[in-house]
Amino acid sequence: MTYPHPILAREGWPFIASSILLSIVVWVLAGFWWSLPVWLWTVFVIQFFRDPARPIPQDPSAVLSPADGRIVVIEQAFDPYAQRQALKISVFMNVFNVHSNRSPVDGILRTVQYFPGRFFNADLDKASEQNERNALVIDSAGRIVTAVQIAGLVARRILCYVKAGQTLQRGQRFGFIRFGSRVDVYLPLDAQSRVSIGDKVYASSTILAHLAA
């Protein structure tokens, strides 16, 4: 089911509530100035878990960004989850980006593969192979698109809410990664990239590439 896109992500509610409570307690017991650092932390937590609605392009050939962030990789690479050569596009998310993960295409979710691993900086190439990760292989009308959630240096929790066999809609919220991470997208080799290294992208609203007919 498509996530209803609240202003704040449901994953953040316990963190936000506890931060606000702690800020109030410190304020009451020690005064405002002692509580100020805790209030600043609370503001950071609230901005981290924001989850705004986004416009979703309906072009059936468009592959949408599964995450907010910055493009760090565009290259031909081997997709180990679908066992093929592919065009790889990677999105790096820092702690100030929205961390909801959303489906890049319409399609049937063929497999969901989780791998435990390390926690290197997600900006590094080795993060794709060595960090904790969760891969979704999606069949979009016969065209395979793989989206991989990758934990980062600070991220310690990958959340995924979909299972193999489900039908995904473009822009549908399928997961969340807490506190800095990366998403790799593997596309057919004949896909045409629409982004460049260093570009800022936004989940669901930025077109990463177009699939060939």
Just list the catalytic residues: 181
Write the CB contacts of 84 (distance below 8 Å, at least 6 apart in sequence). 78, 144, 186
- What are the strands of the beta sheet with 173-177, ordered from one edge? 100-102, 173-177, 158-160
Write the CB contacts of 180 (distance below 8 Å, at least 6 apart in sequence). 93, 94, 95, 122, 152, 153, 154, 155
Token pair in block for residue 110: 């063929």
Token pair in block for residue 28: 């009451």
Among all chains, which residue has been given the structure tokens 């316990």?
14
- Where is 181: in which H helix or E strand? strand 181-187
What b/e readout covers 29-59, taking b as 16+ CB neighbours within 10 angstroms?
eeeeeebeebbeebeebbebbebeebebeee
- HSE-up of residue 105 (Cα within 13 Å, Cβ side): 26
